[in-house]
A and B are shown apart, each in its own frame.
Chain A
Amino acid sequence: MRIDGYRYTWRLPLIVWQALFFIGPLMLMVAMSFWLVRNYRMTPDFVFDNWDRMMSRSFFWDAYEVTLVRACVAAVLATLIAFPASYALAFKVSDTVRRWAIFLLVVPFFTSYLVRIYAWQVLLAESGPINAVLGFGGIGPFSMLNSGFGTMVGYMTLVLPLVIILQTTSLAGIDRNLIEAAWNLGASPVRTLFRVIIPAAKVGLIIGAVFAFILSFGDFVSPFYLGGSKPPTLSILIIDTTKSGQQWPLAAVVAIMMIVTLFVVAVAAVGAAYGRRRS
């Protein structure tokens, strides 16, 4: 059979490109975690030194715990904060307003996240505008930077627009008849919300929360510039280890642990989102 050149012209570029520049780098990183570092030089090998060294350090587990807990809190918080807003966008406003709102929510993706975090650094500072305003009201000043609170503000800046978009899309997709049927059958608004709307929008809600988790779990800017990097998160750990000479294998260990964690969370979430539908 003649080889269909046309077909492969379109199909192969992605495979070749991703193998060379996506799978390749990730595989190398996994391999690197077993390499040996001696006298600041890496040599290919298959030893568990890096794994032993990382896993036995308490600072690694502390960082792991901080990162995991904060990302979970961010996911829950983002879901709770976003939901009333998404609900309003899905049910209380006209289509035109909703389209505009979603367009506005896309805007932040294209503003430098760094600049936004810098702006929060200014806003939240002890002598900054927010404390000044609070000062007129006779409260404060609060020190909001270099704390878990600061980090959370940063995470929300990063994830809220996306979570609201995902939630709104899934809420707006609910069949209105379903909701009206619930009302007609005498269900109270609260009961309708919990028994009809939330279950129907479950997939969107869970996907939103998962994205919030993934993004906050991997982010280093907020914990570094707003959280004061004490305690460090896993991504800060990777940066510190990478930038300090040839410790890439150790950084690779941390990176693999992060990917495994994200994978487990993603699988669990997909299971939760689609799993119990059948019953």
Chain B
Amino acid sequence: MLYLAIVFAFVFAPIITSMIFSFNSDRFPTVPLGEFTTHWYETAFSRPEVWEAMQNSLIVALTAATLSTALGFATAYTDYRYNFRFKSAYIALALLPPTIPLVIMGLAMLAWLARLGISGTLTGIIIAHTVMAAPFAMAICRLRLSQMDPALEAAAWNLGASQWRAMRSVVVPFCLPAIVSAFCLTAAVSFDEFVVAWFVSGLNKTVPVVILEILQGNVDPQINAIGTFVFLTSMTLVVVAQLLITRRRKA
């Protein structure tokens, strides 16, 4: 038990530290703490580039989440419903991206998007994030589909519904909680991702890329302020996703 507490303390120490120091008046954090201040939030949020990055992050996260959820759902449904040759290769193709180190994804994406003429644009970041987040969406949708009785869809067909109709009025409603939670999780993944975004972003930076660039400068408590803000945003998304998953378990 004590051991468990120590391990958890280690895992959470940096998260809690950054929250505490985001309200601490001393520039160079020491013990004992200085006074309580919201100064770092004020400076961070008075910078136009932070706002711009916020906007970029939001656009990228929402678009990438939409695309990767759609892609993930289609793939999960294919895996659930059909059997075909090379299916295991198909599934491997779908799940492979997270195993490639981020730095390598960044390099490959940069080179490829530069060839297509869209490196340095938000479109480029959206594409990269969709590739990286889609496997998570697929996993979540697949889990939900495996709880669905195959007879349900068949029953709709027997009652004269077309495949499309059955999809619209049976499969999608059944999977809706999973689809929403996949959307939230992939948005959170994209909102947090900085390595690939850093490689391909150019001047259109997202929030984590701005953090990275501040970090390359000096000790700066603004990072704690922005980081705490990003943390709260992501956590809201994750908690919403988690609530949807647990609610569907009870249902």
A128 to B238: give the CA distance in the assembly, Å: 32
Closest to B166 in A: A6
A85 to B112: give the CA distance in the assembly, Å: 43
A17 located at the interface, meaning its Cβ lies under 8 Å from any Cβ of chain B in the complex: yes
User: Do A120 and B14 touch across chains, with their CB atoms under 8 A apart?
Assistant: yes
Among B86-100, those with CB < 8 Å from A are 90, 93-94, 96-97, 99-100
Q: A128 and B108 in contact (CB under 8 A), knowing A88-B1, A156-B10? A: no
Residues of A within 8 A of B21 (CB): 119, 122
A225 located at the interface, meaning its Cβ lies under 8 Å from any Cβ of chain B in the complex: yes
User: Do A248 and B231 touch across chains, with their CB atoms under 8 A apart?
Assistant: no
A129 to B33: give the CA distance in the assembly, Å: 9
Closest to A11 in B: B78
User: Do A111 and B103 touch across chains, with their CB atoms under 8 A apart?
Assistant: no
Closest to A4 in B: B163
User: Do B30 and A129 touch across chains, with their CB atoms under 8 A apart?
Assistant: yes
| Minimum Cβ distance to chain B for residue A180 (Å) | 22
| Minimum Cβ distance to chain A for residue B143 (Å) | 14
Residues of A within 8 A of B30 (CB): 127-129, 132
A183 to B215: give the CA distance in the assembly, Å: 54
- Sort chain B's interface into a size bin: 35 or more
Chain A contributes a number of interface residues (CB within 8 A of B) equal to: 75
User: Do A242 and B199 touch across chains, with their CB atoms under 8 A apart?
Assistant: yes
User: Do B11 and A157 touch across chains, with their CB atoms under 8 A apart?
Assistant: yes
Residues of A within 8 A of B74 (CB): 9-11, 13-14
| Minimum Cβ distance to chain A for residue B87 (Å) | 10
Closest to B242 in A: A103
Q: A119 and B108 in contact (CB under 8 A), knowing A11-B82, A214-B101, A242-B199? A: no
Apart from A11-B74, A11-B78, A82-B7, list 11 A-B contacts with CB within 8 A. Answer: A15-B93, A103-B242, A110-B192, A111-B15, A112-B192, A117-B14, A118-B227, A160-B10, A220-B195, A255-B108, A258-B104
State the B residues within 8 Å of A (CB).
1, 3-4, 7-8, 10-15, 17-18, 21, 28-31, 70-71, 74-75, 77-78, 81-82, 84, 90, 93-94, 96-97, 99-113, 115, 127-128, 130-131, 134, 163-164, 188, 192, 194-195, 199, 208, 211-212, 215, 219, 223-224, 226-228, 230-231, 234-235, 237-238, 242
In the assembled complex, 7 residue pairs joining A and B whose CB atoms fall closer than 8 Å, in A order, are A6-B164, A17-B134, A21-B109, A21-B130, A22-B93, A127-B28, A133-B31
